[in-house]
Amino acid sequence: MGDIAKLSAGGADFEYPVIKGSVGPDVIDIRKLYGQTGMFTYDPGFTSTAACESALTFIDGDEGVLLHRGYAIGELAEHSTFMETSYLLLNGELPNQAQLDDFTRTISRHTMLHEQLATFYRGFRRDAHPMAIMCGVVGALSAFYHDSTDIADPVHRKISSHRLIAKMPTIAAMAYKYSVGQPFVYPDNSLSYTGNFLRMTFGVPAENYEVNPVVERALDRIFILHADHEQNASTSTVRLAGSSGANPFACIAAGIACLWGPAHGGANEAALNMLHEIGTPDRIPHYIERARDKNDPFRLMGFGHRVYKNYDPRATVMQQTVREVFTALKVSDPVFEVALQLEEMALNDPYFMEKKLFPNVDFYSGVILSAIGFPTTMFTVLFALARTVGWVAQWNEMISDPGQKIGRPRQLYTGPANRSYVPLTKR
């Protein structure tokens, strides 16, 4: 018999099974709690609640560990490609060469968009935020690809998953092109997933576009770093939307909407703005002082994380990648020097040490993306592009789980109890 957790409530004792995962905290199985005690648990923000079983991603925030299917993110970023990591997330194992070639070929066969979608783009205002376009266009995919929306059919699920991963770079690049008034660039399937995206974003029909291999590798690595991150807000949104049986295109559109928020996908833009505002290393102590001041709402953007209470392992890779990109593009942006010195000072500051505030993935990503040439409005779009594989893998895992139920949280009601209707003339 496994461990049990005991609870005394309302004068009675109850026992609940403790379930063990492969690594990480055990969970108390409270599914019978309401039936037995008539009480709910209260956990706004789900800080202590596991809402599902998952074999995809493991995070140990205290140790700064992030594993996909058991492989450390640092190793994947160094040795793998985004296509290979995508295969791993979707299928559970690293592919052999033939499997990788087959997967890459399948994804590249789905990169084009239905031609009518170009007309759909033209309905947006030119100054629309690209994330607004992403929400709309991805949601609309189910209107264009309804031949793969039967979620009970595993073949439909596979095709829609491949379509989403393959078409996201095309959709994202078109959102950018539309905002700058340039013609859409069709995919070129002779290029890599990331090289193709760079060409569709920065290429123009009038000129040949040469993919810079260092930039291609750096962006591919950024995609790997953002591919999945366990049950974060947008992933939980995708799962919740999917739990009702909604089609995958609609579910991923819901995830994109959630990711848009500044507390989730928008932090790298805020971090970059802050580095620009600081401007020169001599001004860093003033900003550190402000971050420590309880009466000042200022926070060091790109520092701290709900789960990581140690160095975010993705930030380490990001820092190396900035150096490579800056060297390859011969960029010497003073914000990088500000970032390096700010990091060093903060890491040695008692306030940040005591509160376990370390750089997160967003601290350096804005610096790199802006050096590559992306406007800040595209930062969250790139995050959405990469996270699509995680969302799709999590959605598939949920749909194939026989124990899956519609997500339906309960509440602690604090409004008025039952009262009689008061006629309008008596109010």
Residue number with CB closer to ligand ACO (10 or 45): 45
Q: Does 267 engage in binding with ligand ACO (CB under 6 A)?
A: yes
Work out which of 362, 370, 382, 388 binds ligand ACO, going by CB under 6 A: 362
Instruction: Tell me, yes or no, if 362 is annotated catalytic.
Output: yes
User: Which among 12-20, 199-207, 294-302, 329-337 is the span making contact with ligand ACO, rule CB under 6 A?
Assistant: 294-302
Work out which of 20, 109, 283, 306 binds ligand ACO, going by CB under 6 A: 306
Q: Does 278 engage in binding with ligand ACO (CB under 6 A)?
A: no
Alpha carbon distance 403, 397 (integer Å) = 11
Q: Does 361 engage in binding with ligand ACO (CB under 6 A)?
A: yes
Q: Quick one: tokens of 115?
A: 């031609």
Residue number with CB closer to ligand ACO (343 or 362): 362
Least distance between ligand ACO and beta carbon 300 (Å): 4
- For 10, other C-beta atoms within 10 Å of its C-beta total 8
Work out which of 304, 313, 366, 390 binds ligand ACO, going by CB under 6 A: 304
Q: Does 259 engage in binding with ligand ACO (CB under 6 A)?
A: no
Tokens 């066969």 correspond to what residue? 109
Catalytic residue among 110, 156, 162, 305: 305
Residue number with CB closer to ligand ACO (249 or 364): 364
Tokens 């994947």 correspond to what residue? 76
Q: Does 20 engage in binding with ligand ACO (CB under 6 A)?
A: no
Work out which of 357, 385, 392, 399 binds ligand ACO, going by CB under 6 A: 357
Alpha carbon distance 394, 310 (integer Å) = 26
Angle, alpha carbons 81-388-90 (nearest 5°): 60
Q: Are the C-beta atoms of 254 and 83 separated by less than 8 Å?
A: no
Q: Does 62 engage in binding with ligand ACO (CB under 6 A)?
A: no
Q: Across the strands, what pairs with 60? A: 65
Sequence length of the chain is 427
Residue number with CB closer to ligand ACO (64 or 302): 302
Q: Does 303 engage in binding with ligand ACO (CB under 6 A)?
A: yes
Q: What is the CA radius of gyration of the chain?
A: 24
Alpha carbon distance 220, 317 (integer Å) = 12
Q: Does 293 engage in binding with ligand ACO (CB under 6 A)?
A: no
Q: Does 314 engage in binding with ligand ACO (CB under 6 A)?
A: no
Report strand pairing: 12-19 vs 65-68: unpaired
Q: Which amino acid is at 320?
A: Q
Q: Does 360 engage in binding with ligand ACO (CB under 6 A)?
A: yes
Q: Which residues contact 105 (CB under 8 A, 6 or more apart)?
A: none
Q: Does 228 engage in binding with ligand ACO (CB under 6 A)?
A: no
Alpha carbon distance 42, 30 (integer Å) = 12
Q: Does 300 engage in binding with ligand ACO (CB under 6 A)?
A: yes
Alpha carbon distance 256, 249 (integer Å) = 11
- Closest to 151 measured CA to CA, from 164, 160, 143: 160
Alpha carbon distance 393, 396 (integer Å) = 5
Q: Are the C-beta atoms of 138 and 191 separated by less than 8 Å?
A: no
Q: Are the C-beta atoms of 372 and 366 separated by less than 8 Å?
A: no
Least distance between ligand ACO and beta carbon 304 (Å): 2
Instruction: Tell me, yes or no, if 79 is annotated catalytic.
Output: no
User: Which among 22-30, 175-183, 203-211, 355-363 is the span making contact with ligand ACO, rule CB under 6 A?
Assistant: 355-363
Residue number with CB closer to ligand ACO (158 or 264): 264
Least distance between ligand ACO and beta carbon 333 (Å): 20
Residue number with CB closer to ligand ACO (176 or 303): 303
Catalytic residue among 220, 228, 349, 362: 362
Q: Does 291 engage in binding with ligand ACO (CB under 6 A)?
A: yes
Q: Does 368 engage in binding with ligand ACO (CB under 6 A)?
A: no
Helix segments in 181-312, DSSP class H: 193-202, 213-225, 233-243, 248-259, 267-278, 284-292
Burial class, 125, CB count within 10 angstroms (exposed 0-12 / middle 13-18 / buried 19+): exposed
Q: Does 296 engage in binding with ligand ACO (CB under 6 A)?
A: no
By CB under 6 A, the residues from 154 to 193 that bind ligand ACO are: none
Question: Residues with catalytic annotation?
Answer: 305, 362
Instruction: Name the site residues for ligand ACO (rule: CB under 6 A).
Output: 264, 267, 291, 299-306, 355, 357, 360-362
